[in-house]
Amino acid sequence: MHYAPILKPAGACRVPPQLADYETVCREFSWEQVRAGFAGLPNGAGFNLAHEAVDRHAASALREHVALHCLGRDGASTVLTYGELRVQTNRFANVLRGLGVGRGDRVFALTGRVPALYIAALGTLKKTSVFCPLFSAFGPEPIYQRLQRGDARVLVTTSELYHGKVAPLRDRLPSLQHVLLVDGLPMETHGPGVASLPALMDAASPDFTIPPTAPEDMALLHFTSGTTGMPKGAVHVHEAALMHYATGRYVLDLHPDDVFWCTADPGWVTGTSYGILAPLLHGVTNLVDEADFDAERWLRTLAEKRVSVWYTAPTAIRRLMRLPGEPRSRFDLSALRLIHSVGEPLNPEAVVWGERALGLPIHDNWWQTETGGIMIANFASMEIRPGSMGRPVPGVEAAVVRRTPRGVEVVDAPGVEGELALRPGWPSMFRGYLHEEERYRRCFADGWYLTGDLARRDAGGYFWFVGRSGDIIKTAGHMVGPFEVESALMEHPAVAEAGVIGKPDPVIGELVKAFISLKPGMEPGEALRRELLGFGRKRLGSAVAPKEIEFQRHLPRTRSGKIMRRLLKARELGLPAGDTSTLERED
Ligand code: AMP
């Protein structure tokens, strides 16, 4: 079905949009100009993300302005002004200093969305250490892979998560020296290398001078999944702040009085770039909700907290679409000015539903862990073409390309599919995959960064998502690498081989489905299927584990021994098998 463009006549925006005229802003845009808007550290000591996000405002008229408004799962809430956030993050930086944690050392976090997580993130950046957030619904295996690959030195977590998931891994993580429990009671004994964070924070000084920081110093490490191999750690630097700021301005359209809510967890890149950094760089109030998705709670939060700019994801929107009636008839959404979505394709009907049921269309945008910030977007002032990701952000050059034996060729013609490519040079571009130089190098060719996504561009310059070029799975907006899931399943004594695919699902986009062949002598059956589902959940956590398991006598393999996930998927969907010339004979 074709959806008509949603036009935005002049004056349709309640406040004048930061990007009034796309062409003019793009033409006049330069990163130097954005850079010039930041003061940098005092005395020319460089450029530090946390200074720009917190201390700069704490030293200004924004000192008493609310920086973080954190809603607890149980209904309690914590409010921190920019002045208070400055003190708390100073204390955290001093805690790290006291532990001898320094420049470039990796500080991981594995907690829910509690204030300590946000304080730890910004305090770590102040100390010029590297912040690496993990999703708390990960099971022990994904946690181990990331802590180990990221050379974790410090882990900020809760008692429950530590004892349940991390303590049994400790012997295999020799570089993990300090575990800081956000709920650790001061007088409790926590075991060697485990301490109460509140006790350390209380004892730490509220004053901290940020050490010299180079814009290219490593600031953040975000793990992302690949088609092959284990997760890779994308390295981001302090200068990424320029991108967070520019997109906060031109895409999110932040204005000083906004209450901004990004529903993503900092364990995924959106939850850090936009759930922590962009709003704070703009000095606005950043709302955080510890609780997981709950339609009624979310709509109540939008209404009662007077959220003006909301950044969420297609899975959540599709869940809201299932509610009977139209939310705006039950909730006062009058403060809401703009809705944005990212993470997976946003169905055109969701864009239109937003307009009807929430009173505003939904603005889709596109980016990925490697890009560190939004690259392609629908803008407040511009027509929305439902189903399109929008147009490149000012300062970003995007193209549809083809890889040919002669090199990368740009596809100029509108409507032709190819790989989405970006011209390197934007400030939040990842600077490497940690310890995997070759893997990083392979992402670039002929002056382009190749995103691995397939797209087309229309004659008006809008980009349309077509699909991913690999076997990567997007489930509820989260990237899951099939290899990681297969590896965990193969550790079960009954499993001979496993092939994992994303099976289309109307709400969560794709669900993780595993095909399993069993070792000789093992019989498939309901009890074993359940056991394997439980095994997967225990190992991988609910965010990553397969939701469906199917037994097969043999899995299709290439002659070189690789499981043909593509064929498993085609069969699952009842589609033609495609090229099977490399298929080994199946019995
Ligand atoms: P991640 O690195 O986990 O943030 O995932 C990035 C990937 O999510 C992209 O490469 C796309 O495949 C997908 N993605 C993100 N945003 C969108 C969008 N607006 N439309 C379609 N796919 C998206």
Q: Is the confidence at residue 577, as pLDDT, over 90?
A: no
The rounded Å distance from CA 343 to ligand 1 centre is: 4
Inter-CA distances, 341 with 279, 364, 384, 440, Å? 16, 5, 13, 28
Query: What is the Cα gyration radius of the chain?
Result: 24
- In the three-class reduction of DSSP (H, G, I as helix; E, B as strand; rest coil), residue 123 is classed as helix
Residue ranges in 287-414 assigned as alpha helix (H) = 295-304, 314-321, 327-330, 348-353
Q: Is the confidence at residue 348, as pLDDT, over 70?
A: yes
Lowest mean pLDDT among 7-11, 418-422, 470-474: 7-11
| Nearest protein CA to atom 19 of ligand 1, as residue | 366
Alpha carbons 301 and 322: distance in angstroms, whole number: 18
pLDDT at 585: 55
Residues with beta carbon inside 6 Å of ligand 1?
224, 269, 342-346, 364-366, 368-369, 389, 451, 453, 465, 468, 474, 479
Instruction: Answer whether 235's CB lies under 8 Å from 430's CB.
Output: yes
Per the document, the length of the chain is: 587
Alpha carbons 271 and 530: distance in angstroms, whole number: 33
From 364, 479, 544, give the residue whose CB has the most ligand 1 atoms within 8 Å, as the site to mutate. Answer: 479
Q: Is the confidence at residue 422, as pLDDT, over 70?
A: yes
Ligand 1 atom, smallest distance to 269 CA:
4
Q: Is the confidence at residue 580, as pLDDT, over 80?
A: no
pLDDT at 582: 65
| Nearest protein CA to atom 1 of ligand 1, as residue | 368
From 223, 318, 351, 368, give the residue whose CB has the most ligand 1 atoms within 8 Å, as the site to mutate. Answer: 368
The rounded Å distance from CA 395 to ligand 1 centre is: 20
Inter-CA distances, 363 with 25, 216, 328, 379, Å? 19, 31, 18, 7
Q: What pLDDT, in 10s, does the model give residues 263-296?
A: 999 999 999 999 999 999 999 999 999 999 999 9
- In the three-class reduction of DSSP (H, G, I as helix; E, B as strand; rest coil), residue 339 is classed as strand
Instruction: Answer whether 140's CB lies under 8 Å from 539's CB.
Output: yes
Q: Is the confidence at residue 417, as pLDDT, over 70?
A: yes
Instruction: Answer whether 276's CB lies under 8 Å from 249's CB.
Output: no
The rounded Å distance from CA 223 to ligand 1 centre is: 14
pLDDT at 456: 95
Q: Is the confidence at residue 579, as pLDDT, over 90?
A: no
Alpha carbons 486 and 488: distance in angstroms, whole number: 5
Superfamily for the 10-24+32-457 domain: ANL, N-terminal domain (3.40.50.12780)
pLDDT classification of 464: cutoffs 50, 70, 90:
very high
Mean pLDDT of the chain: 94
| Nearest protein CA to atom 10 of ligand 1, as residue | 368
pLDDT at 27: 98
Mean pLDDT score, 152-173: 97
Instruction: Answer whether 108's CB lies under 8 Å from 147's CB.
Output: yes
Q: Is the confidence at residue 560, as pLDDT, over 70?
A: no
Task: Count the Cβ atoms, other than its own, within 10 Å of residue 559.
Answer: 10
pTM above 0.85, yes or no: yes
pLDDT at 192: 87
The rounded Å distance from CA 444 to ligand 1 centre is: 18
pLDDT at 584: 67
Q: Is the confidence at residue 587, as pLDDT, over 60?
A: no
Lowest mean pLDDT among 209-223, 528-542, 551-565: 551-565
Ligand 1 atom, smallest distance to 364 CA:
19
What are the residue ranges spanned by the domains of the chain?
10-24+32-457, 470-573
Top-tier CATH class for 470-573: alpha beta
